[in-house]
Amino acid sequence: MTQQKPNVFIIMADQLRYDAIGTYTPNLNELKKESVVFNRAYCASPICVPARGAFFTGRYPNETGCLINPWAQQDRVSGMVKEGTPHLYQLMEKHWDSWHTGKQHLFYQVKPEQQSESLTHWDTEDNYTEYLREHDKQAPGGPKFKGLVPEMVSGQRTTVKSYSIPAMDRYTEGLDYFFDGYITNRSLEAITSRNKEKPLFLSAMYLAPHPPYHLPEPWYSMIGEEEIKLPDNVGVWYPDQSPLQMYNLTGVLGTRYSREEWRSIWAKYLGLVNLLDDGVGRVIDELKRQNLYDNSLIIFTSDHGEMLGSHRLWQKFCMYEESVRTPLWIKFPKTFDPAVREVNEAVSSMDVLPTLCEFLGLDKPEVLSGKSLMPLIHGGKQDREAIYVQYDGNGSLGNFQRCIVKGKYKLIVDLFKDETFLELYDVVNDPQETTNLAVSGDHAHEMSELVAMLKEHMERTGDHLALDIDLAKLNAN
């Protein structure tokens, strides 16, 4: 039958740096050529669960109530989207044959896949675990890929937790038992098993290139250290970057490694990026075999980025470009001709849901903070004054950061206990954020404007924090 509505595919990587696309991503490079590319896309939070909560609801973490990964029982409620908040799967499954494959970090008190009224086909980490058990195979990772770090709970008490470190080893069970190989296989099954009486919606949530760096061959050995050209800011701690990062997992672990050690780590990270690219290529090839590709809208993005040694930091959990800036591309159906192919205005991951609502004619939720990208795609302007990003801790409430991006300037407010540290960067002319303009005193006007806008945003969205900033005293030492 001829479908009136396009098929929709969301392909989301996990922890993919915006600048990792290129040499080792031939399939993604081809998709990018056919897409509208948003060169300055930012996540709503540099951590998995809040980032995905915002992405799938089109609302800020402050508004969804999902602020952290809910690993500590004491703060678990702060990792859950508020009940009654509409999400994309609910909107799509009304008229699309809706499938989810892979990582499922859209958290409610009762997860969407556990809700009896859900019409989506769910294949998540639980299914993967059962698959490994049935085949008597071991999952990637384990104790050697983790290290001990301090973590605040409820912003009051320090505990010791175990989190990923950049340890490396060969995964010998093979690609089919590697999480991303499993996701690709289940995605291919979704395409071939779809209800052909409806358009298909597939949300393929990859884990790569998130650690552990426990890779199957040939990807483990694919990239040699001698091939790696590191960004200049890898392994460098800049004098005016926030010292409060040393209380965060980013600094506690990241400062252990030298620039040369990061080179070997990058080789394994990019091996995972190539593995991701291979999976995406297989999915796209199947769409073409099934004659679905031309009538498909494909969104490629990542939940957040990865520091990977930049600023001498590890993982995400901070507001530097490598952590909060993400790839975001939209490949439209052949019947739609975008007015532009590249957008250089700053946009948010929260903008995807309202964009889909407008383009697909979905029932738009009453309250959305994201803005449709369609005006930009038509060559116009988006109704937005600034981009806002927040961080409230990893597995519990503890380290707090707030960020505003307006034009070429980014203001970062880093808070830990009773201390506050400000950073201001010109991210257009200084994308590696090497010069903190907040310490010079030459940008008082920009600082005052951005602080005022950030305060107003926090109040408007019901932030649990309040900023009390005296610009004359901060960073004085």
Q: pLDDT (tens digit, 9 = 90+) per residue, 19-50?
A: 999 999 999 999 999 999 999 999 999 999 99
Compute the average pLDDT of residues 118-128.
Answer: 98
Residue 4's pLDDT is 78
Query: What confidence tens digit (pLDDT) does each residue in 321-369 have?
Result: 999 999 999 999 999 999 999 999 999 999 999 999 999 999 999 999 9
Q: DSSP state, 38?
A: E
Whether residue 58 contacts residue 370, with contact meaning beta carbons closer than 8 Å, is answered with yes
Whether residue 283 contacts residue 204, with contact meaning beta carbons closer than 8 Å, is answered with yes
Domain boundaries, given as residue ranges, for the chain: 7-384
Residue 247's pLDDT is 95
Query: What confidence tens digit (pLDDT) does each residue in 140-181 have?
Result: 999 999 999 999 999 999 999 999 999 999 999 999 999 999
Residue 469's pLDDT is 86
The residue among 80, 64, 45 whose CA lies nearest residue 305 is 45
Residue 473's pLDDT is 66
Residue 2's pLDDT is 44
Q: Which phi and psi angles does 351 have, rounded to 5°?
A: -80, -10
Distance CA 65, CA 219 (A): 39
Average of per-residue pLDDT values in the chain: 96
Residue 43's pLDDT is 98
Radius of gyration of the chain (CA): 21
Question: In the CATH hierarchy, which top-level class contains the domain 7-384?
Answer: alpha beta
Compute the average pLDDT of residues 127-132.
Answer: 98
Residue 477's pLDDT is 44
The residues, any chain, with a CB within 8 Å of residue 242's CB and separated by 6 or more, are 412, 414, 421, 423
Q: Amino acid identity of 127?
A: N
Whether residue 391 contacts residue 458, with contact meaning beta carbons closer than 8 Å, is answered with no
| Half-sphere exposure of residue 371: CA atoms within 13 angstroms, side-chain side | 17
Task: Using pLDDT thresholds of 50, 70 and 90, give the confidence band for residue 441.
Answer: confident
The DSSP bridge pattern shows strands 7-13 and 213-215 to be unpaired
Task: Using pLDDT thresholds of 50, 70 and 90, give the confidence band for residue 10.
Answer: very high
Residue 106's pLDDT is 98
pLDDT at 282 over 90: yes
Residue 471's pLDDT is 76
Q: Which phi and psi angles does 96 have, rounded to 5°?
A: -110, 150
Residue 21's pLDDT is 98
Task: Using pLDDT thresholds of 50, 70 and 90, give the confidence band for residue 1.
Answer: very low
Residue 474's pLDDT is 59
- Say which residue the tokens 């507001």 belong to: 319
Residue 102's pLDDT is 98
The residues, any chain, with a CB within 8 Å of residue 299's CB and separated by 6 or more, are 8, 9, 10, 11, 328, 329, 330, 331, 352
The residue among 412, 405, 427 whose CA lies nearest residue 474 is 412
Distance CA 331, CA 344 (A): 17
Residue 304's pLDDT is 98
Strand ranges (E), 165-286: 168-170, 200-205, 213-215
Whether residue 113 contacts residue 89, with contact meaning beta carbons closer than 8 Å, is answered with no
Compute the average pLDDT of residues 200-206.
Answer: 98
- DSSP letter for each residue of 264-294: HHHHHHHHHHHHHHHHHHHHHHHHHHTT-ST
The DSSP bridge pattern shows strands 409-416 and 419-426 to be antiparallel
Q: Please, which residues bridge with residue 42 across strands?
A: 325, 348
pLDDT at 452 over 70: yes
Whether residue 33 contacts residue 300, with contact meaning beta carbons closer than 8 Å, is answered with no
pLDDT at 472 over 60: yes
Distance CA 243, CA 240 (A): 8
Q: Please, which residues bridge with residue 460 across strands?
A: none
Q: Is 178 helix (H, G, I), strand (E, B) or coil?
A: coil
